[in-house]
Amino acid sequence: MESNVEKHILDNGLTILTKEMHHVPLVSQWVWYRVGSRNETRGITGISHWVEHMQFKGTEKYPINVLDKEISRDGGVWNAMTSLDWTTYFETMPAHKIDIALNLEADRMRNSLFDEQETTLERTVVISEREGNENEPLFRLGEAIQKAAFAHHTYAHQVIGDLEDLQTISRDDLFAYYQDHYTPDNALIAVAGDFNTGEIINKYKEIFGKIPGSPEKKYIPKPEFELPEKKRIEIEGPGSTIYLQLSYRSPDAKSSDFFPLIVLDSLLTGPSPLAMFGGGSISNKTSRLYQSLVEKDLAASVSAGVQATIDPYLYEILAICQPGQSLDKVQEIINSEIDRLQNTLVSSEEIKRAIKQAKALFAYGSESITNQAFWLGYASMFADHAWFENYIEQIEDVTPRMVAETARKYLDPEHRIIGIYKPRGNGD
């Protein structure tokens, strides 16, 4: 992919990526902070996500009832997300109104109020979100698997946090965490759209340049490169559906094994969307597990997930079993297909199709100005913007032998977690 991305670093450590795109009069700005659940120690799990919520509660300059009006009355959209490795805030605005977004984000980088009453109200919101998630079988199963998959790494807990921590985190805890992590040297801004780079960089220098950095060291966990020995986890709960999830250690996004895993995933279950934002979908009906499980009425659906992360995480295969079908049979077929990938080279025709599907899904997720700005910042959280720009070339370089080697290295039956959710009683 031809690059017209420019990188700028201000004196206070703030990194800015710019990409001019003049086909429509819009600008999308994404402010990324290198903080997520990965940076949370025991006692404050969920704090990154809660701080994100508090960033919409206002500053002296932009009180709580003014924030949304400032964006929406000028035809803009905005939102935020918290993940394992990062937190991000974005605004997509008419090009001549983007200064509003710059001023808003610079102000709440250091001046959010964290009002005591608003903190109390938001505690109820995040606890309710947590309790709502607990009603979902896949959340409960996923949480149990994550805890089993990591002995010490903070990927062991969900982004929403543990209930006991959400009940005890204080306003001062939130504010201190915000002050430590919401600093220019821990942030990156990705901006794409209809602007002149020199002019907008001057604006960033003027608006963000005086915000001080922080010498505070952030908590960085030690990576875990291998799953413990094989484990089996069974959970019972309400519902009427049996879920089978097989979880394996996956490589970090900068690993040379990451792109072969993407192609392997496309072959096995159909391509997975890497990004949390935007994109389309691709049918997985040509994938091996769809044909061997869904088409034969053993499973209602089959899917998998690859995440681009700083440290090794999890590759997860999920089958929703058809009522009355044998769970052992479903698992046997998954094992057989994995064994085939490990020991028999994929045909040229099949790997070309899998690569084509993975490339198409990536293209759907990067077609708009907002998506372009997203990907520039997203890739920079675990690698750099060149990772995004070279994505297609990296996918096209994957060979059948690389897929087989990756399958043997990561899909080890002796180092995986078998997770099963079974409905209890009559399904009530």
Digit-by-digit pLDDT tens for the chain (428 residues) are 557 999 999 999 999 999 999 999 999 999 999 999 999 999 999 999 999 999 999 999 999 888 788 888 888 999 999 999 999 999 999 999 999 999 999 999 999 999 999 999 999 999 999 999 999 999 999 999 999 999 999 999 999 999 999 999 999 999 999 999 999 999 999 999 999 999 999 999 999 999 998 877 778 899 999 887 899 999 999 888 999 999 999 999 999 999 999 999 999 999 888 776 666 677 889 999 999 999 999 999 999 989 999 999 999 999 999 988 899 999 999 999 999 999 999 999 999 999 999 888 888 878 899 999 999 999 999 999 999 999 999 999 999 999 999 999 999 999 999 999 999 865 44
Residue 12, CB-side half-sphere exposure with 13 Å CA sphere: 20
Confidence (pLDDT) at 279? 60
Confidence (pLDDT) at 11? 96
**Which residues, listed in sequence order, are joined to residue 237 by a DSSP beta bridge?**
423
Structure tokens at 100: 């509003």
Confidence (pLDDT) at 278? 62
Confidence (pLDDT) at 428? 47
CA angle 416, 239, 282 (to 5 degrees): 60
Residue 82, CB-side half-sphere exposure with 13 Å CA sphere: 22
Number of C-beta neighbours around residue 226 at 10 A: 10
Q: Where are the domains of the chain?
A: 5-208, 231-423
SS3 88: strand
Task: Please tell me the distance from the alpha carbon of residue 66 to that of residue 69, in angstroms, as a whole number.
Answer: 5
Q: Characterize 310-344 residue by residue with b for buried, 16 or more Cβ atoms within 10 angstroms of its Cβ, and e for exposed.
A: bbbbbbbbbbbbbeebeeeebbebbeebbeebbee
Confidence (pLDDT) at 425? 63
Whether the CB-CB separation of 376 and 284 falls below 8 Å is answered with no
The secondary element (H helix, E strand) that includes residue 91 is strand 87-94
Largest CA distance in the chain: 66
Confidence (pLDDT) at 229? 82
Confidence (pLDDT) at 42? 93
**CATH topology of 5-208 equal to that of 231-423?**
yes
CATH fold of 5-208 reads: Cytochrome Bc1 Complex; Chain A, domain 1 (3.30.830)
Number of C-beta neighbours around residue 217 at 10 A: 7
Q: Is CATH 1.10.10.60 the right assignment for the domain spanning 231-423? A: no
Those residues with Cβ within 8 angstroms of residue 141's Cβ, 6 or more apart along the chain or in another chain: 233, 235, 243, 245, 419, 420, 421
213: left (phi over 0), alpha (psi -120 to 50) or beta: beta
To the nearest 5 percent, what fractions of the chain are helix, strand and coil?
A: 45, 20, 35
Confidence (pLDDT) at 276? 65
